[in-house]
Amino acid sequence: MTVLIVSTCVEPLSEAEFIVPLARVIRDAGKTVESSHLNNLDSVPVGVSHILLGGTALQDDIYLKENPDIKPLLDADVPLLAICSGMQLLVAVCGGEIIIQREIGMVQVKTIAENPLCSGNFEAFALHHRAIDPGPQFEVLAQSKSCVQAIRHHELPHYGVLFHPEVRNEQVVRNFLAL
């Protein structure tokens, strides 16, 4: 099984911080990893079973200005997990909104709907200046005191988390890979 990690990062240091740890978690789960940058992706390669659309650094907000095309990811008939900036892009493309909401550091997250990614109350690492208003296409799965932390598309196998599971909640990634 090959898992595609798609980066929204501009800086190599951001790749090291946000993409490399995801690749490690995936390899540790016994899966093969392929990586691409969102700006270089015209289609999802054949043989990909899951896609992760990774996050990036606070100051690295080019993804908001360039309006990258995530349609190839949405059209692939495989589960998608969008993380932080990836979740923001996913929601914006599907009719929701990106809103201003800052969270930095450890936050308490409460699961509010049964789902395959997370359960109960847990602590997660947040690093964002923006959050989301999910709109009608998504179900809210978990939230912190300040904002929505996890979502699921009502019809497609697309999920999003605003926190960074590669930092503290690797089980969320492993649970996603089990879909």
Measure the CA–CA gap between 120 and 157, rounded to whole angstroms.
Answer: 22
pLDDT digits (tens, 9 = 90+) for 121-143: 999 999 999 999 999 999 999 99
pLDDT band at 65 (very low <50, low <70, confident <90, very high): low
The residue with greater pLDDT, 57 or 99, is: 99
Which domain CATH number covers 93? 3.40.50.880
pLDDT band at 30 (very low <50, low <70, confident <90, very high): very high
pLDDT digits (tens, 9 = 90+) for 50-62: 999 998 876 666 6
The pLDDT score that the predictor gives to residue 40 is 87
Q: Which helix (H) or strand (E) holds 65?
A: helix 62-66
Answer whether residue 146 shows pLDDT above 80: yes
Residues recognised as catalytic: 84, 164, 166
The pLDDT score that the predictor gives to residue 167 is 94
Cα angle 99, 102, 108 (rounded to 5 degrees) comes to 110
pLDDT band at 69 (very low <50, low <70, confident <90, very high): confident
Average of per-residue pLDDT across 136-162: 97
As given in the structure block, the two tokens for residue 118 are: 């997370």
Total of domains in the chain: 1
For residue 39, give its domain range: 2-177
Q: Which of 120, 133, 135, 119 is nearest to 162 (CA)?
A: 133
Q: Is 39 helix (H, G, I), strand (E, B) or coil?
A: helix
Measure the CA–CA gap between 138 and 152, rounded to whole angstroms.
Answer: 5
